Structure 1
């Protein structure tokens, strides 16, 4: 490998806002926000909207989608 062409990999905390769960993983992402982790060290913090802790495919909890409202809105807009 050539030196100096790869991004720096470091521990980063990703916090899932929907499930209120945090993961400490290695990543090349960086953030000016920091958080103190359970081991007493401070790491960059990146907030995410969805992770494996809150995604329906991983949790098995499906969300109900209002398809009837979409059909009615389509019919109002474009007529029958």
Structure 2
């Protein structure tokens, strides 16, 4: 069986959306901001629903591209999430 990548769906505004759909629907930060967008949402895994924060960060190598950082710790600030991910 070939390997298949499964894209999770996030629940935002009562609707299930993909990461691309969330990015397209929300207003981005302009200028030279460290991040483009931060969204609190939820993801369903099996029978449980987990609250997560999505942080969209501009890709330094491709200006029109972005990276998505996901965390379950909603108390972290966007700057802390970016800093922790940068250490990895």
TM-score greater than 0.5 by the shorter chain: no
Q: TM-score, normalised by structure 1?
A: 0.22
Q: TM-score, normalised by structure 2?
A: 0.21
Q: Which has the higher contact order (CA 8 A, sep 6+)?
A: 1
Higher relative strand content: 2
Which structure has the greater CA radius of gyration? 1
